[in-house]
């Protein structure tokens, strides 16, 4: 396949996002309304609030333009309100702090950024339940009637946040963070991965005994279905666990889930919300394509056969489909990747979502060698 589109995608990202950044100062965006970023500053603990920071750091790394760094640091400082809010902290701390303060520390060595990232890691480690060897997902402490309802819940998304814990062990030389991350990954292997390589979204444990009780359908279309973003979090999450631990079983696991994902990619290369959604349903989730592509590119690199690898080829197919069919390159609108879906049963589908742009950019940066590796 001709590779010119990769350089073109890189240039268009740079051109478009320069304009987007200039007009989006002070925002913490999630989606767009009429092409314009919304602003979640007043709902600062939302799990996606680090991704715009991640985009800004990827752009800063590639261009060294001061604007990107300044906006990213402003967003990082806003997240301090969440660091001081136990109810706002959850299993998604990697998404929020690895891409903001973690990136800041990697790029400049800033000490305050280091402390923020380590605090987030300590909080995430505190969510570990040694009875079931899992990291608890959501809170319920703010609602007296519901307290304890989520105590036994773990979700596949958490795999993508484990690198925050690996980072903390690498920095502090304290192995506890690493041990917690690896035990959680082992639990996911045991209870979340099906025979065919697909994964469940939500697992429920008895939080006192650790017994695995049941799975739930979550953001996919039904119990027993195959929510594509969940498959993507698992692919990328397991290869990242491999990169940090060098345990072969994590790479094998990433490959198994990726093989299942690849076998289900439609001819068009665009990805549905759920691989098992009803035949007439055409809803897509471009975020799943971008995340899975990032994971597959890392598998190809780790397995050592680069561009020849079936994982590299599949990633390129997914990314080319996004570039060719799902990117809005207009300089007037703020987001790039179209047709993203948060959850199958939500009222709205197929809109822009900030992490669709983040992972698309990260994937293109991987292909062009400009990535600031943040995981
Ligand atoms: N982490 C939640 C989601 O992927 O929608």
pLDDT in tens for each of the 375 residues of the chain? 688 999 999 999 999 999 999 999 999 999 999 999 999 999 999 999 999 999 999 999 999 999 999 999 999 999 999 999 999 999 999 999 999 999 999 999 999 999 999 999 999 999 999 999 999 999 999 888 999 999 999 999 999 999 999 999 999 999 999 999 999 999 999 999 999 999 999 999 999 999 999 999 999 999 999 999 999 999 999 999 999 999 999 999 999 999 999 999 999 999 999 999 999 999 999 999 999 999 999 999 999 888 999 999 999 999 999 999 999 999 999 999 999 999 999 999 999 999 999 999 999 999 999 999 999
By annotation, the residues acting in catalysis are 92, 157
pLDDT of residue 1: 66
Computed on alpha carbons and rounded to an integer, the radius of gyration of the chain in Å comes to 19
CA distance 31 to 355: 9
Name residue 135's beta-bridge partners: 128
- Cα(89) to ligand 1 centroid in Å equals 15
Ligand 1 atom with the shortest distance to the CA of 47: 1
Q: How much is the pLDDT for 2? A: 80
| Cα angle 275, 280, 282; round to 5 | 60
Confidence at residue 143, expressed as pLDDT on a 0 to 100 scale:
86
The Å distance, Cα 47 to ligand 1 centre, comes to 8
Contact present, 243 and 235 (Cβ < 8 Å): no
Residue nearest to atom 1 of ligand 1 (CA): 157
How many Cα atoms are found within 13 Å in the side-chain-facing hemisphere of 44? 19
For residue 153, the model assigns a pLDDT of 98
Residue 339: predicted pLDDT? 98
Q: For residue 229, which atom of ligand 1 is closest to its CA?
A: 4
Please tell me the distance from the alpha carbon of residue 254 to that of residue 246, in angstroms, as a whole number. Answer: 13
Q: What spacing in Å lies between the alpha carbon of 131 and ligand 1's midpoint?
A: 25
Q: What is the pLDDT of residue 37?
A: 98
Cβ-based neighbours of 243, under 8 Å, separated by 6 or more: 298, 302, 375
CA of 308 to the centre of ligand 1 (A): 31
Output the ligand 1 site: residues, CB below 6 A: 47, 92, 157, 219, 229, 342
| Residue linked to tokens 């940090």 | 244
The answer to whether 137 and 150 are in contact (CB under 8 A) is: yes
pLDDT at 304: 84
Helix segments in 64-161, DSSP class H: 66-78, 80-83, 93, 101-108, 111-125
Pocket test for ligand 1, best of 47, 273, 346, 351 (most atoms within 8 A of CB): 47
For a substitution probing ligand 1, which of 233, 273, 295 has the most ligand atoms within 8 Å of its CB?
A: 233
C-alpha torsion sign, points 153, 94, 227, 262? negative
* 8 Å CB contact between 28 and 52: yes
Task: Give the global pTM.
Answer: 0.98
């Amino acid at each position: 396949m001709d590779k010119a589109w990769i350089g073109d995608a890189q240039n268009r990202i740079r051109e478009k996002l320069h304009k987007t950044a200039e007009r989006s100062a002070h925002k913490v965006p999630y989606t767009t309304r009429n092409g314009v970023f919304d602003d979640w500053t007043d709902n600062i603990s939302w799990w996606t609030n680090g991704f715009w920071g991640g985009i800004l750091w990827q752009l800063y790394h590639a261009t060294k333009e001061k604007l990107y760094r300044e906006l990213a640091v402003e967003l990082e400082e806003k997240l301090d309100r969440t660091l001081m809010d136990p109810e706002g902290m959850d299993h998604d701390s990697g998404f929020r702090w690895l891409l903001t303060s973690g990136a800041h520390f990697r790029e400049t060595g800033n000490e305050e950024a280091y402390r923020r990232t380590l605090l987030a890691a300590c909080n995430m480690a505190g969510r570990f339940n040694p009875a079931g060897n899992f990291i608890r997902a959501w809170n319920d402490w703010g609602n007296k009637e519901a307290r304890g309802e989520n105590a036994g819940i773990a979700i596949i998304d958490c795999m993508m946040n484990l690198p925050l814990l690996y980072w903390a062990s690498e920095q502090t030389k304290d192995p506890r963070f690493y041990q917690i991350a690896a035990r959680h990954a082992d639990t996911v292997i045991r209870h979340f991965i099906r025979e065919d390589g697909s994964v469940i979204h939500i697992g429920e444990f008895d939080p006192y005994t650790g017994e695995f009780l049941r799975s739930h359908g979550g953001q996919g279309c039904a119990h027993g279905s195959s929510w594509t973003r969940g498959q993507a979090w698992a692919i990328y999450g397991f290869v990242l666990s491999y990169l940090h631990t060098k345990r072969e079983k994590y790479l094998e696991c990433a490959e198994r889930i990726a093989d299942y994902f690849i076998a289900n990619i439609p001819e068009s290369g665009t990805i549905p919300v759920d691989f098992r959604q009803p035949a007439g349903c055409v809803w897509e989730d471009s975020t799943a394509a971008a995340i899975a592509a990032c994971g597959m590119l890392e598998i190809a690199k780790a397995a050592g056969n680069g561009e020849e690898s079936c994982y590299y080829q599949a990633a390129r197919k997914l990314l080319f489909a996004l570039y060719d069919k799902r990117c809005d390159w207009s300089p007037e609108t703020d987001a790039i990747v179209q047709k993203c879906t948060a959850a199958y049963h939500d009222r709205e589908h197929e809109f822009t979502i900030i992490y669709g742009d983040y992972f698309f950019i990260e994937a293109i940066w991987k292909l062009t060698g400009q990535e600031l590796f943040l995981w």
